[in-house]
């Protein structure tokens, strides 16, 4: 069972009880604005995501964590690692990404979870490089990226939707946490 404790968060794998809370997060247009084509996701799509993430955990040994608040046990959102198959030009690569419910923004939780995910990538998985792929204009994500010490690589076009995507990377062999 893969679990990581940070000062305020538990990062863990998914179970079916997470579905309603994640579906609420995914139903918020402000949360989904910079993800995919910007559409919200319904309950069924959210269930498919959880299933896909769990498959990735089983197949790759890494994946997207459920991010739970240690104090209350609430599901705050999603952070972790995945293979960005939607952007073939960057492959092979492992991507870090994040999504929190709106009430959990502005408290440093995304950065805390992302930092723990990078440490997991390096120490548990032995990865030496992780990238982040974000929409140009997604300033909240860019803020997290710069706090993690990721550096810009290039701007490219999302082959699915035509959006401009910024690719950043971090060399984990130099990572100091």
Q: Are 155 and 137 in contact (CB under 8 A)?
A: no
Size of the site for ligand COA (CB under 6 A): 21
Close Cβ partners of 72 (under 8 Å, ≥ 6 residues apart):
none
Q: Is 39 in the site for ligand COA (CB under 6 A)?
A: no
Number of H helices, E strands in the chain: 5, 8
User: Looking only at residues 59 through 118 of this chain, which bind ligand COA when binding is defined by CB under 6 A?
Assistant: 97-100, 105-111
- Give 8 or 12: the residue with its C-beta nearer to ligand COA: 8
Q: Are 25 and 40 in contact (CB under 8 A)?
A: no
What is the number of the residue whose Cβ is closest to ligand COA?
108
Q: How many CB atoms within 10 Å of residue 94?
A: 19
Closest to ligand COA by CB, 111 or 156? 111
Q: Is 137 a residue that touches ligand COA (CB under 6 A)?
A: no
Proportion of the chain in helix, strand, coil states, percent, rounded to 5: 40, 30, 35
Nearer to ligand COA, 20 or 36 (CB): 36
Q: Interface residues with ligand COA (CB under 6 A)?
A: 31, 34-35, 97-100, 105-111, 134, 138, 140-141, 143-144, 147
């Amino acid at each position: 069972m893969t679990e990581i404790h940070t000062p305020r968060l538990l990062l863990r794998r998914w179970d079916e009880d997470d579905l309603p809370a994640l579906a609420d997060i995914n139903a918020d247009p402000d949360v989904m604005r910079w993800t995919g084509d910007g559409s919200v996701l319904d309950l069924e799509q959210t269930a498919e995501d959880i299933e896909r993430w769990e498959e990735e955990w089983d197949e790759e040994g890494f994946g997207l964590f459920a991010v739970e608040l240690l104090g209350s046990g609430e599901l705050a959102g999603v952070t972790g690692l995945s293979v960005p198959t939607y952007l073939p030009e960057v492959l092979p690569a492992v991507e870090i990404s994040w999504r929190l419910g709106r009430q959990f923004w502005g408290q440093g939780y995304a950065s805390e979870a992302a930092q723990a995910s990078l440490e997991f990538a390096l120490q548990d998985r032995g990865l030496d490089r992780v990238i982040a792929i974000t929409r140009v204009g997604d300033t909240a994500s860019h803020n997290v990226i710069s706090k993690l010490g990721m550096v810009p690589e290039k701007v490219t076009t999302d082959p699915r939707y035509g959006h401009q995507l910024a690719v950043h990377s971090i060399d984990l062999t130099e990572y100091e946490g």
